[in-house]
Amino acid sequence: MNYYLIYDGDCNLCVTLVQLLETLDQGKLLRYVPMQDEQSLKQWGITEQNCQQGMILIDANAPERLWQGSDAAEEIGRLLPLVASS
Structural domain contains residue 34: yes
Structural domain contains residue 68: no
Note whether 27 and 45 are within 8 A (CB). Answer: no
Structural domain contains residue 73: no
Structural domain contains residue 77: no
* pLDDT 10s digits, 61-79: 999 999 999 999 999 999 9
Structural domain contains residue 4: yes
Per-residue HEC secondary structure of 44-71 comes to: HCCCHHHHCCCCEEEECCCCCCEEECHH
Structural domain contains residue 85: no
* pLDDT 10s digits, 1-54: 599 999 999 999 999 999 999 999 988 999 999 999 999 999 999 998 888 889
Tell me which residue range forms the domain holding 4. Answer: 1-58
Number of domains comprising the chain: 1
Structural domain contains residue 84: no
